[in-house]
Structure 1
Amino acid sequence: MTSNPDFLIVYGTLRPPFDNTFSQYLRQRGRYVGEGSFTGQSFDMGSYPGAVYQENSDTRVHGSVFEISSQKEAILTYLDYYEGVGDQFEQPTEYIRAIIPVEFNDTTTDCWIYLYNLQTDDKPLIESGDYSVHIGKPFSWPA
């Protein structure tokens, strides 16, 4: 596993069709390289999703992959704030930043990701694994 990958997968409000300040920041500083997926599940948290990585799952979560090597530290620091990740936030945090294997462009590559870090027992499962489809705004690029 790569200890500091150059790629980030986003599956929720950082992905088109969302156009908040943080998603704009990512699109301006990262380079979109394709759609990807990983084994796990995603859940509807109300106005955003949360995903969990499950290595041997039969279900997949879908997202958009960005190459972030040119401004990796700045991008991850900014998005850590958005996702509430880090020691300055009350623990346990809702999300953690992790590295997982992601399939995109016919290969598997380690990517940074923000995974949901709390219980999902009472959260509705997103059956399709794709939050943009779930909310009726299917992904399209360019944003």
Structure 2
Amino acid sequence: MHSLPARHLFVYGTLRRGCANAEATWLAEVALWIGTAQVAGRLYHVAGYPGLVPDARGLMVRGDLFRLPHGPAGETILARLDAYEECAADCPAPHEYARIILPVQTQDGTVDAWTYVYRHSTAGLDLVVGGDFLRDALPPPR
């Protein structure tokens, strides 16, 4: 296996800390949470989960930044998450997401981080105004 070009992972939806699903719990156990961070882009509400489209025009998407372990352990984490995001090589194409490296802003500066970006059309999808899926995508209280 080759070394990872980025040792960080930025997540903005169902993999964030505090989400009540097995993959988010597992990620919090196997990777080091660095803190909250943000990336330039637009966040859409897809179908109970979000899709990030990178966009350098000023909108920001909030999420969590993790540091991945060195070597095969980090690659194993990414392989499992690729399967979760259905963008692994053995998943049926066309893939809804792609894992790419984006610049992520933290309180301490900018780092390059693996990020799952949405690849399908956003026509008809609602924008998550405010850019924070956990805070802004919830329906308003009645």
**Does TM, normalized by the shorter one, top 0.5?**
yes
Aligned partners of 1:63 and 1:127: how far apart in 2? 14
Tell me the number of residue pairs that the alignment of Structure 1 and Structure 2 aligns: 134
Unaligned runs of 5+ in 1: 138-143
Question: For residues 121-140 of structure 1, what are the structure 2 equivalents within 5 Å?
Answer: 121-136=123-138
Q: Report the alpha carbon displacement of residue 136 of structure 1 after superposing the two structures with TM.
A: 4.1
Alignment of 1:66 with 2:63, yes or no, is no
RMSD, aligned α-carbons = 1.5
State the secondary structure of the residue aligned to 1:84.
coil
Aligned partners of 1:39 and 1:25: how far apart in 2? 27
State the secondary structure of the residue aligned to 2:79.
helix
Question: For residues 46-61 of structure 1, what are the structure 2 equivalents within 5 Å?
Answer: 46-54=47-55, 56-61=56-61
Aligned partners of 2:66 and 2:117: how far apart in 1? 16
Residues 82-115 of structure 1: per-residue CA shift (max 9 Å, x gap): 0001221222200110000000132011000111
Q: In the alignment, is the contact (CA less than 8 A) between 1:6 and 1:68 conserved in 2?
A: yes
Structure exhibiting the larger radius of gyration computed from Cα positions: 2
Q: Report the alpha carbon displacement of residue 121 of structure 1 after superposing the two structures with TM.
A: 1.3
Unaligned runs of 5+ in 2: none
Aligned partners of 1:118 and 1:136: how far apart in 2? 22
Aligned partners of 2:37 and 2:120: how far apart in 1? 24
Q: Name the counterpart of 1:140.
A: none
Q: What stretches of structure 1 move > 3 A for 4+ residues in a row?
A: none
Question: For residues 1-143 of structure 1, what are the structure 2 equivalents within 5 Å?
Answer: 4-54=5-55, 56-70=56-70, 71-136=73-138
Q: In the alignment, is the contact (CA less than 8 A) between 1:99 and 1:111 conserved in 2?
A: yes
Q: Report the alpha carbon displacement of residue 135 of structure 1 after superposing the two structures with TM.
A: 3.5
TM-score by length of 2: 0.89
TM-score by length of 1: 0.88
Aligned partners of 2:129 and 2:108: how far apart in 1? 23
State the secondary structure of the residue aligned to 2:131.
coil
